[in-house]
Amino acid sequence: MSTFLIPRNIEFGENSLEALKGLEGERAVLVTGGSSMKRFGFLDQAVDYLKEAGIESKIVDGVEPNPSVKTVIKGKEEMLDFNPDWIIAIGGGSALDAAKIMWAFYEHPDLEFEDIIEVASMPKLRNKAKFIAIPSTSGTASEITAFSVITDTENKIKYPIVSPEIVPDIAIVDPKIPATMPAHITANTGMDVLAHAVEAFVSTAASDYSDALALKAIEMVFEYLPKAVSNGDDMVAREKMHNASTMAGMAFSNASLGIVHSLAHKIGGELHVTHGLANAILLPYVIEFNYEAAKEKFEIVEKALGVDSLADAVRDLNKKLDIVPSFNAIDWLDYTEKDFENILDRMSKNAHQDPCTLTNPQEPTVEDMKQIYTDSF
């Protein structure tokens, strides 16, 4: 017996932001990041559409990349003052993730952060408000997932919060919004989409439902990511990548991930390598590591793409996107072989413990994790 979780509605395609005009309610809190949504006019547009629907808005902005517990608490207080019946998150994965937890605290003001860290410890939401997510990057798929990643900045720990309760009610997947991303963010977040789709497809928790979404998303990334990166105004490519992100998100929110993510989470934490970039570098190595264990699945992907080797096809894709083949080739990474040796043991042990390791098709040892880091460094 299994459950496949998805949002109530996915509004998609150019100008789907206009779906806000049809909302019923009285007050909405809009949660956003630093400045991009304001700068490109999407925030004002959202407020105008809500006004047309007779809904009064309040803005909670300033959510930082890798949002902190402090930011979430501040947002909760502003929500308690305003008493919204809609929470609308518009921005990158950071703004969406932060808004999900502000919402939980707004619904249950006595809740402490410690209370919701355990899997399935989230109380019922939607007594006060429903939740809309409007992604501005085509990558994390927070608009669709049961996940939120919040950082305890004092103890430098990233907490993944997992609950079916925080799957948004409505996702608005409007390609005009991520079309303002610069090329390198498009490339990195796009490779995160590919990692989600490939890992969900070969996951030990994959299902017929997740397979269909994951395989289609893989095909879309190979065809459209190079176009979205080389010409940011190619609206077909932008729309395909935005949809692929959400589809891959539906797949991995249900089927979970594998050790590309386990390894990327820890090397990201230690060396501050952007999540999508770390995934892009690790993906071909992990495909090779998993190949025999999930041979039938990989062959399906290779057949769909018309390639002999998926690992080599990913390497070619990285090259097309100007993504380097190894960590030590990242030009801003100021790190020596010696420094790397020093963190290798800790990183490999931590990556082995990551929850994403549980659904990897080939069960790895700590030594295996070490070997993949060494090969990809």
For ligand NDP, the closer CB: 178 or 361: 178
For ligand NDP, the closer CB: 166 or 301: 166
For ligand NDP, the closer CB: 23 or 181: 181
For ligand NDP, the closer CB: 149 or 206: 149
Does residue 192 bind Mn ion (CB under 5 A)?
yes
> Both tokens of residue 176?
């005009």
Please, where are the H alpha helices in the chain? 36-39, 42-52, 69-82, 93-107, 183-202, 208-230, 235-255, 259-271, 275-290, 295-305, 310-320, 337-353, 366-376
Alpha carbon distance 369, 77 (integer Å): 42
Write out the residues near ligand NDP by the rule CB under 6 A: 33-37, 65-66, 91-95, 97, 136-137, 139-142, 145, 147-149, 177-178, 180-181, 185, 189, 275
Residue 185 interacting partner from ligand NDP, Mn ion, none (CB closer than 5 to 8 Å by kind): ligand NDP
Neighbours of 258 (CB within 10 A): 31
In the chain, the amino acid numbered 275 is H
Greatest Cα pair distance in the chain? 61
CB of 175 to ligand NDP, least distance (A): 10
Residue 352 interacting partner from Mn ion, ligand NDP, none (CB closer than 5 to 8 Å by kind): none
CB of 52 to ligand NDP, least distance (A): 23
CB of 206 to ligand NDP, least distance (A): 18
What is the phi-psi region of residue 15: left when phi exceeds 0, alpha when psi lies from -120 to 50, beta otherwise? left
Alpha carbon distance 376, 373 (integer Å): 5
CB of 34 to ligand NDP, least distance (A): 3
For Mn ion, the closer CB: 16 or 145: 145
Q: How many CA atoms lie within 13 A of 190 on its CB side?
A: 35
Binding site for Mn ion (CB under 5 A): 192
